[in-house]
Amino acid sequence: MSSHTWTQDALRSELSHLQAPAWRLVEAQHVVSTLTLVDNLEEQTLLEDILEETKPLVPLDCQHLDYLLSTPFRYRPYPYGSRFRKPGLTPGVWYGAEQPETAVAEMVFYRFLFYAESPDTPFPDHPADYTAFSVGVGTASALDLTAGPLVDDREIWTDPVDYLACQDLADTAREVGAEIIRFQSVRDPAGGANLAVLTCGAFRDSAPVIRQSWRIRISSSGAQAIRDYPRLGVEFGRDGFDLDPRIKGIDWER
């Protein structure tokens, strides 16, 4: 049970300045996925334009942003809840991490979750290519769940499967004008911080400013992630995410 009642007044008193880089991973083929369907770049541009016309409109306050930043604010209704967004016709949330290694841990967790929920799917034969990108975010109205009185409810904010308290907090945070929520990653073994961006106005860059190339291999021994430059390797064993009951029961022999 929460040690505080997080009313609008209580949250308003916890708003503070925040400025940080935010990192996110995407599959590398996001750049060239349509090239396999056409014969040349002119046809690809035409195909991309046709696809764009079938998608929901980008909100006015997000139209200056690259699609890698604006996408979460574009699609409603939201079919499944996330840590700070309820399902349904709810406002968008863009998630990033303060360090690329934390973003990698988040990606590996969700790959593990995919295989846990798909026991008949074999592990891939080869590593998958990912692009990590960063963008600056900042606001005078941020909530930091890792500091001050808010940290007293750490167990609630870091529940591996129950997001209801975080979703309720985000709803109240929006009502008092919060634009970013800083919180501890539940997936990163090093305990790195994540950022939930609640408004497009909190982006300090309109497009990614730094990119890194990563390869992630999922196998019966866990996961290995390698960054090309600067060179770095990160490993996740079978038990790396056992705090989440959905992962603990994964069938590794397939």
**Per-residue pLDDT tens over the stretch 32-91:** 566 677 778 787 777 777 766 778 889 999 999 999 999 999 998 899 999 999 999 999
Beta bridge partners of 139: 18
Coil, strand, or helix at residue 140?
Answer: strand
Q: What are phi and psi of 224, to 5 degrees?
A: -125, 130
Q: What are phi and psi of 25, to 5 degrees?
A: -110, 140
Give the pLDDT confidence of 201-249 residue by residue, as tens digits: 999 999 999 999 999 999 999 999 999 999 999 999 999 999 999 998 8
CB 145 within 8 A of CB 181: yes
Beta bridge partners of 203: 137
pLDDT at residue 31, as a whole number: 53
Question: Which DSSP symbol is given to 82?
Answer: B
pLDDT at residue 37, as a whole number: 74
Out of 32-36, 117-121, 191-195, least confident range: 32-36
Tell me, rounded to whole angstroms, the distance of Cα 162 from its chain centroid: 17
Q: Is the pLDDT confidence value at 30 over 60?
A: no
What lies within 8 Å, CB to CB, of 122 at 6+ separation is 254
Specify the pTM: 0.91
Provide, rounded to the nearest whole percent, the portion of the chain with pLDDT above 90: 83
Tell me, rounded to whole angstroms, the distance of Cα 172 from its chain centroid: 21
Instruction: Extract the tokens encoding 182.
Output: 């800083």
| Tokens 């073994």 found at | 189
The closest of 100, 37, 123, 124 to 229, measured between CA atoms, is 100
